[in-house]
């Protein structure tokens, strides 16, 4: 789904409002008329929001997960704000028409109009999702809690449908409007059922993944090896990730995204994670033979290359997808660079593997070790404080402007790397990222 398609759908909704005498009604009943418009656009954005995160393959290939998540947040906040404006404007408009108090009018709308109780519950669910999606709130929540709360967005959209069809005259005002809204809801529901339910169920039944082994890579980092049937037929590539659910007890219903840390070989898959929360901590307690459910593969990190030279820049456990790319990507000796940032040598993950790959394939490898610099935001350790980030990057990789740059690490660190890469002449469309944001 392109941005142009999204804008067209919003414009079409506005055109339906105009055809229903929306402009003319502004003169006689502005509050209710604007309430209708905000409600229509909000409903359209809610459906677009569902489509953005339905894991539709060609949409993911076009934008990538980071960009889809960013657009999902923008569209989500826009839809909720318009929904709140719709509630306020409609309530004020009806109260003015009935010459009644606002609170009494709201109570009358909720308790007597068809579908309004369901719509109220849906509104509360969507507000809850919006509040917990604010950056400050996300930082105070565990990923597991945030993920569970975020599922209420689908409940909110579903609960709004009866109200819109039973009391929303704009939804049934003309055959064109009726066809549009039913088609929009059918597409959103169909995309969710196919790509979030049907495809994962089919793949799990076919491949039947189980834990094959667990390896401690560092004091707080573990790798999990998985095997299954017909893995050579699974359409997965280095740089991609899956959402995993391990059937090891309570909490297995909550999925956790983990990238492949080795190129898939058709026999086993490997994921690696740092103990950053309940989901990643429980990986160390898995036992061979444990059943694993998965969704995916997702991500396009390995399919966006534009030239022969590559630089991969990782921080901490962000090395996982880049290590897989380093192994699988085609490149000539001397045309690949790996910069790996960590607090100390003990924090490096896969050091022996990386050294072996570098020696075998002629990779320029640099470990950037040391504590964070004080007093400024930088992706480099404090020993580089005497020089600017772009200057150091150009010194480490003199020809970096000719490279595709792959970056994986925490969100703020990734942003700092991207700023440095652009400052030394790397084109924005040649910088490819996968951050740890959610």
Block residue for tokens 């950053």: 276
User: What CATH number corresponds to the domain at position 390?
Assistant: 3.40.50.80
Residues 141, 28 within the same domain: yes
| 109, 243: one domain | no
Measured between alpha carbons, how far is 35 from 42 in angstroms, rounded to an integer?
Answer: 10
* 102 and 246 co-located in one domain: no
If pLDDT is split at 50, 70 and 90, which confidence band does 214 have? very high
Per DSSP, the three-state class of 8 is helix
DSSP string of 84-129, one letter each residue: HHHHHHHHHHHHHHHT--HHHHHHHHHHHSTTHHHHHHHHHHHHHH
Handedness of CA 339, 344, 345, 346 (dihedral sign): negative
Q: Domain of residue 329: give its range.
A: 303-435
* Boundary residue ending a domain (182, 202, 222): 202
Round to the nearest angstrom and report the end-to-end CA distance of the chain.
22
Helices (H) and strands (E) in the chain, counts: 17, 11
Looking at the structure, do residues 51 and 172 belong to the same domain, yes or no? yes
Regarding whether 262 and 233 lie in a shared domain, the answer is yes
From 143, 178, 202, the end of a domain falls on 202
| 16 and 161 share one domain | yes
Q: Could you tell me if 370 and 343 are in contact, meaning their C-beta atoms sit under 8 angstroms apart?
A: yes
pLDDT bracket for residue 2 (50, 70, 90): low
Mean pLDDT, the chain, rounded, equals 87
Same domain, 64 and 196: yes
Q: How many domains does the chain have?
A: 3
Residue 136 sits in the same domain as residue 182? yes
Tell me, yes or no, whether 98 and 213 share the same domain.
no
Q: Are 404 and 336 in contact (CB under 8 A)?
A: no
| Number of neighbours of residue 341 by Cβ within 10 angstroms | 24
Cα separation, 241 vs 270, whole angstroms: 10
| Entry pTM | 0.81
User: Greatest CA span in the chain, whole angstroms?
Assistant: 81
Structure-model confidence comparison of residues 171 and 347, the more confident one: 347
Same domain, 115 and 261: no
* Claim to verify: residue 83 and residue 169 sit in the same structural domain: yes
Region 317-336 average pLDDT: 94
> How many CB atoms are closer than 10 A to CB 249?
9
Q: Is 259 exposed, middle or buried (0-12, 13-18, 19+ CB in 10 A)?
A: buried
Boundary residue ending a domain (267, 299, 331): 299
List the structure tokens of 137: 């709130």
Residue 284 token pair:
């160390």
In tens, the pLDDT along 8-42 reads: 999 999 998 998 888 988 888 899 899 889 988 99
Same domain, 7 and 81: yes
**What is the pLDDT confidence band of residue 360, given thresholds at 50, 70 and 90?**
very high
């Amino acid at each position: 789904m392109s941005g142009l398609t999204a804008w067209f759908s919003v414009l079409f909704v506005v055109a339906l409002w105009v055809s229903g005498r929306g402009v003319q009604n502004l003169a006689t009943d502005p509050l209710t008329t604007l309430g209708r418009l905000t409600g229509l656009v909000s409903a359209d954005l809610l459906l677009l929001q569902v489509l953005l995160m339905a894991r539709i393959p060609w949409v993911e290939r076009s934008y990538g997960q980071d960009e889809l998540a960013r657009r999902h947040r923008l569209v989500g906040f826009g839809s909720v704000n318009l929904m709140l404006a719709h509630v306020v404007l409609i309530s004020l408009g009806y109260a003015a028409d009935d010459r009644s108090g606002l609170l009494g009018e709201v109570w009358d709308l909720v308790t007597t109009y068809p579908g309004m109780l369901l719509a109220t519950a849906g509104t509360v669910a969507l507000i809850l999702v919006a509040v917990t999606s604010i950056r400050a709130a996300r930082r105070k929540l565990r990923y597991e809690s945030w993920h569970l709360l975020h599922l209420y967005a689908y409940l909110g959209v579903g609960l709004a449908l009866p109200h819109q069809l039973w009391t929303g005259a704009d939804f049934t005002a003309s055959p064109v409007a009726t066809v549009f809204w039913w088609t929009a809801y059918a597409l959103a529901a169909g995309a969710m059922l196919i790509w979030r339910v049907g495809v994962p169920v089919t793949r799990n039944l076919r491949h039947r993944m189980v834990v094959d082994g667990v390896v401690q890579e560092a004091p707080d980092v573990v790798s999990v090896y998985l095997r299954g049937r017909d893995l050579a037929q699974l359409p997965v590539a280095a740089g991609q990730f899956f959402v995993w659910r391990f059937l090891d007890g309570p909490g297995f219903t909550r999925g956790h995204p983990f990238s492949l840390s080795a190129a898939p070989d058709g026999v086993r898959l490997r994921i690696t994670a740092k103990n950053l929360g309940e989901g990643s901590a429980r990986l160390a307690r898995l036992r061979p033979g444990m059943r694993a459910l998965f969704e995916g593969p997702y991500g396009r990190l390995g399919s966006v290359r534009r030239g022969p030279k590559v630089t991969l820049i990782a921080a901490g456990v962000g090395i996982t997808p880049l290590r897989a790319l380093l192994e699988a990507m085609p490149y000539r000796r001397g045309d690949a660079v790996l910069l790996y940032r960590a607090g100390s040598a003990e924090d490096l993950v896969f050091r022996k593997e990386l050294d072996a790959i570098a020696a075998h394939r002629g990779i320029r490898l640099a470990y950037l070790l040391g504590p964070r610099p004080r007093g400024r935001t930088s992706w480099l350790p404090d020993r580089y404080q005497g020089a600017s980030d772009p200057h150091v990057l150009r010194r480490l990789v003199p020809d970096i402007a000719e490279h595709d740059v792959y970056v994986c690490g925490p969100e703020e660190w990734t942003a700092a790397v991207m700023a440095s890469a652009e400052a030394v002449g790397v084109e924005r469309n040649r910088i490819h990222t996968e951050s740890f944001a959610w």
